[in-house]
A and B are shown apart, each in its own frame.
Chain A
Amino acid sequence: MNLEIILHAGIATGSVLLFAAIGEIFAERSGILNLGVEGMMLLGAMAGFGTSLATNNAWFGVSVAILAGGLLSLAHGLVTIQFQADQVVSGLSLTFLGTGLALVLGEGLTGETPPLLLDYNIPLLQSIPFLGPALFKEHGLLVYMGYIFTPLSWLFIHKTRPGMHLRAVGEKPAAADTVGVNVYGLRYLYTFVGGCFAGLAGAMISLSVSPGWYSTQTTSGQGWIAIALVIFAQWNPFRAALGGYLFGMLRRLILDLQGPRILLGFVNPLYINSNYSFFLIMIPYLLTIIALIFGSRAVARNKTGSPAALGIPYIRGERGQ
């Protein structure tokens, strides 16, 4: 159990959660709750994998995955923004839709080997002791983009004018509307952005981090973990990224725990009976619940945590106070 390896794997798998979570942060900051992330991720995974197979180009696959996620989220946007339907149910229906589409269109993809995304090393930085190999060696380009994307997102949301509008739309859309900010348009935009990143995250799984198409097992609930991560991160991209990496490390740790005969000086129970690994598999999901408990308590205490208008449809000029 090598800490360096665990860190490396954590960064790789964690980047998937990073993109999905930050995408969802954008959507939720604008006031739209998108629970369809799991479906969009799965669709992105399948679309990326399938397109790469068909076109022999992994990056093409990534582009199509992004588009697929974005288009699916536009359906969510249409129903919640235009028709003012309940955002929770709409998100759920999109999970079904995305998953269904992915399963149907992805039939027969299991076992195929399309071109995958390549890993690269970053010169100089990779030589930093300990952190270097873990962070800057043998990662896909998307992981490196994740390093830059996180601070850029934070800067965008908190230090730019469009970011200010984004926050206003999610806090008090009426205020934004009366000064001429296009509330509906921005909500569509950021929902789309969220969907795109969910699709990207999916493609990252099937083309880079855990290559292959394994039906619903490809994502196995990571979309939901990403949504929980947003609450835990209190809508802050840095915390979301950190949480993602930690989760990734945990998953690697779980894998590693099953190997050695001796663990911490004792005989490893997992070595004796591999069925005990079922309990290990539970841990990420259990931890998600625990993270949610802490996140929800923080939100309840802070009051300035969740965007005030999250989940509430905006209707211009509502009568009757």
Chain B
Amino acid sequence: MTPNPPAVEMKNIVIAFPGVLANDHVNLTLQEGEIHALLGENGAGKSTLMNALAGLYKPVSGTIRVKGDLVNFNSPRDAISKGIGMVHQHFMLVPTQTVTENILLGLKEPRFAMSLKKYDQKITELQEKYGLFVNPSTKIWQLSVGEQQRVEILKTLYRGADILILDEPTAVLSPREIGELMETMRSMTEQGKSIIFITHKLGEVVDIADRVTVLRKGVVTAEGESMKGVTKKDLAHRMVGREVVFTIERESHDLGDIVMEMENVSAINNRGLPALRNVSLNVRRGEILGIAGVGGNGQSELAEVITGLRDCTGRITIQGEVINNYPPIQAINHGVSHIPEDRTAVGTAPSLSLTDNTIMKGYRDKPIGDGWRINFQVANEHTRKLKNKYNILAPSIQTPAGKLSGGNLQKLILAREINSEPIFMVAMQPTRGLDVGAIEDIWALLLEQRQNGSAILLISEELDELFSLSDRIAVISEGRIMGIVESENADIDQIGMMMTGMQQERE
């Protein structure tokens, strides 16, 4: 008896963008009813490959077969009609519309006039089948991130998807929600669905995947291997091609005086809801204080109140001087430097040259700035030096910053911020979206700053990063500090519990 054809068979896929070969003759096979992990570091080409499967990109060459049939997708619609549904890392939901409206988006029904009650019913039934509960008439912006993800999954199921692609689904979830998601995945495969999930987290692959395909720089280094007996170390090796050092040397040393102090700080977010509630923290010279937490629990607002991008109640001082509720220039003048969460939207000016970007913080002072003038000769020289020192890859210093890769852009930002010899640095997600090589570079730079006596507030969603770099770790949940622990003594389960809102002792 011939077995069922694989749910998906991708052979020899080639996808290229200007200057980069994202997928180089990649093969991937998904069997029916299995959970298949697509593993690789950031920039390896995983999302690109799956976007092609979902109909968003067209491969330059190669073939795709779905359930045995050769397919040629020209748009997401074609992929959907073949039973493929993709849940993107950045949700594709319309914030101002309800759950039901979002699920029904793009479908032929309701024909013209909308009376949504009938559909609310249908959707509730679907929810019960797979255990994905959300109130159908709430608007998306009112839902939590985990709930929004459920809506995304429901969207694909409603369209009759039996092949689901999940792109970094756990990036935005708390440990408990991750557990729930894994149960949902198992329940779906038991009911005949096939799932590919993209991730760069080795632990998850070990926990849930049946088989794994590993991509490294656009090339397959492990194709559809069964997970039986495979360890994290094996996977890491396939992912980067060398032994990955998970811990980094962090010398302990004496800490100096308190540099930054936050007392009873509260703030509201853009939607008018409380984002920070009575936060009190301090950071000393030569210390890295890590802030752990699931994204969206007040981290952005925390960085913003310190750097003057948001007002708050309470007091924030740098070396005793109040800096909160002033425009950003106040913080800058007090030696606060900021590595922003969003390097393209906030941290750089994409059409301007490297030089223009490096002097963004230092253009007011000599030798670059001189009263009304800017001495561009000095600025260019300065930029050249930084470019070499930090190994920033770019055709020239006149290249528009927007053309740089993520890693190089981040190095540019770090070069700029570090160069101002900050007293206090706020680093938000400094290594998000970077490959291991760049991550190691950035970590080294941060530790060097720590060694030189800077005080650093490190806000990150990667627990590995926090454990490696921080002296102390504070956990934030729903705008409150749930506890602060010494990273040496910290235990990951304890942190995980605090992240989900269970208060712990302060040390």
B110 adjacent to A161 (CB under 8 Å) = yes
CA distance A160 to B116 in the complex (A): 10
**A203 interface residue per 8 A CB criterion:** no
**A217 interface residue per 8 A CB criterion:** no
**A316 interface residue per 8 A CB criterion:** yes
CB-defined contacts of B56 to chain A, threshold 8 Å: 178, 316-317
CA distance A106 to B341 in the complex (A): 56
B433 adjacent to A176 (CB under 8 Å) = no
- Kindly list 12 other residue pairs between chains A and B, CB separation below 8 angstroms, not including A175-B94, A179-B92, A179-B159: A161-B110, A161-B112, A164-B105, A165-B105, A165-B106, A171-B95, A172-B92, A174-B92, A179-B107, A179-B155, A303-B271, A308-B96
CA distance A260 to B109 in the complex (A): 61
A178 and B94 in contact, given A161-B111, A165-B105, A320-B344 (Cβ under 8 angstroms): no
CA distance A320 to B56 in the complex (A): 15
From A171, A174, A179, A316, B106 is in contact (CB under 8 Å) with A179
Binds A, one of B73-81, B200-208, B251-259, B385-393: B73-81
**B245 interface residue per 8 A CB criterion:** no
B105 adjacent to A304 (CB under 8 Å) = no
Q: How many B residues face the partner with a CB closer than 8 A? A: 38
**A177 interface residue per 8 A CB criterion:** yes
**A162 interface residue per 8 A CB criterion:** yes
Q: How far is the CB of B50 from chain A (nearest CB, A)?
A: 12
**A159 interface residue per 8 A CB criterion:** yes
CA distance A143 to B371 in the complex (A): 62
CB-defined contacts of A176 to chain B, threshold 8 Å: 94, 105-106
**B17 interface residue per 8 A CB criterion:** yes
A171 and B94 in contact, given A161-B112, A164-B114, A317-B57 (Cβ under 8 angstroms): yes
**B218 interface residue per 8 A CB criterion:** no
CB-defined contacts of A321 to chain B, threshold 8 Å: 90, 344, 433
CB-defined contacts of B270 to chain A, threshold 8 Å: 303
Interface set, chain A 29-52, CB cutoff 8 A to B: none
**B60 interface residue per 8 A CB criterion:** no
B433 adjacent to A178 (CB under 8 Å) = no
A320 adjacent to B106 (CB under 8 Å) = no
Quick one: closest A residue to B90, CB to CB? A321
Q: How many A residues face the partner with a CB closer than 8 A? A: 26
Interface set, chain B 401-421, CB cutoff 8 A to A: 406
Main secondary structure of the interface of B (DSSP, over half): loop
Chain A residues with CB under 8 Å of chain B are 159-162, 164-165, 167-168, 171-172, 174-181, 303-304, 308, 316-317, 319-321
From A160, A175, A308, A320, B114 is in contact (CB under 8 Å) with A160
CB-defined contacts of A164 to chain B, threshold 8 Å: 97, 101, 104-105, 114
B17 adjacent to A175 (CB under 8 Å) = no
A179 and B76 in contact, given A168-B94, A168-B105, A171-B95 (Cβ under 8 angstroms): yes
B105 adjacent to A179 (CB under 8 Å) = yes
B113 adjacent to A175 (CB under 8 Å) = no
CB-defined contacts of B110 to chain A, threshold 8 Å: 161
**B82 interface residue per 8 A CB criterion:** no
From B76, B97, B114, A177 is in contact (CB under 8 Å) with B76
A-B contact pairs, 30 of them (CB 8 A): A159-B113, A159-B114, A160-B112, A161-B104, A161-B111, A161-B112, A162-B112, A164-B101, A164-B105, A167-B96, A171-B96, A171-B97, A172-B92, A172-B93, A176-B94, A178-B86, A179-B76, A179-B80, A179-B106, A180-B75, A180-B76, A180-B77, A180-B80, A180-B106, A303-B270, A308-B96, A317-B57, A320-B344, A321-B90, A321-B344
Q: How far is the CB of A158 from chain B (nearest CB, A)?
A: 9
CA distance A303 to B101 in the complex (A): 20
Q: How far is the CB of B79 from chain A (nearest CB, A)?
A: 9
- Counting chain B CB atoms within 10 Å of each CB, the highest count among A159, A174, A308 belongs to A174
CB-defined contacts of B111 to chain A, threshold 8 Å: 161
From B17, B54, B80, B159, A319 is in contact (CB under 8 Å) with B17
- Counting chain A CB atoms within 10 Å of each CB, the highest count among B92, B102, B104, B406 belongs to B92
CA distance A304 to B94 in the complex (A): 12
**B11 interface residue per 8 A CB criterion:** no
Quick one: closest B residue to A162, CB to CB? B112
Quick one: closest A residue to B272, CB to CB? A303
**B88 interface residue per 8 A CB criterion:** yes
CA distance A308 to B91 in the complex (A): 15
Quick one: closest B residue to A174, CB to CB? B92
CB-defined contacts of B104 to chain A, threshold 8 Å: 161, 164
B76 adjacent to A167 (CB under 8 Å) = no
**B51 interface residue per 8 A CB criterion:** yes
Quick one: closest B residue to A158, CB to CB? B114
CB-defined contacts of A180 to chain B, threshold 8 Å: 75-77, 80, 106
- Counting chain B CB atoms within 10 Å of each CB, the highest count among A164, A177, A179, A320 belongs to A179
CB-defined contacts of A172 to chain B, threshold 8 Å: 92-95
CA distance A41 to B86 in the complex (A): 44
Q: How far is the CB of B84 from chain A (nearest CB, A)?
A: 11
Quick one: closest A residue to B271, CB to CB? A303
CA distance A320 to B75 in the complex (A): 20
CB-defined contacts of B406 to chain A, threshold 8 Å: 320
CA distance A283 to B1 in the complex (A): 85
CB-defined contacts of A178 to chain B, threshold 8 Å: 54, 56, 76, 86, 88, 92
CA distance A165 to B110 in the complex (A): 12
CB-defined contacts of A303 to chain B, threshold 8 Å: 270-271
Taken residue by residue from 149 to 165, chain B's Cβ proximity to chain A (1 for < 8 Å, 0 otherwise) reads as: 00000010001000000
Q: Which 9 A-B pairs have the closest CB atoms?
A: A180-B77, A179-B106, A175-B92, A178-B92, A181-B106, A180-B106, A172-B94, A168-B94, A171-B94
Q: How far is the CB of B487 from chain A (nearest CB, A)?
A: 29
Quick one: closest B residue to A175, CB to CB? B92
CA distance A321 to B89 in the complex (A): 11
A304 adjacent to B57 (CB under 8 Å) = no
Quick one: closest B residue to A169, CB to CB? B94
A317 and B51 in contact, given A179-B155, A180-B76 (Cβ under 8 angstroms): yes
CB-defined contacts of B51 to chain A, threshold 8 Å: 317
Q: How far is the CB of A177 from chain B (nearest CB, A)?
A: 7
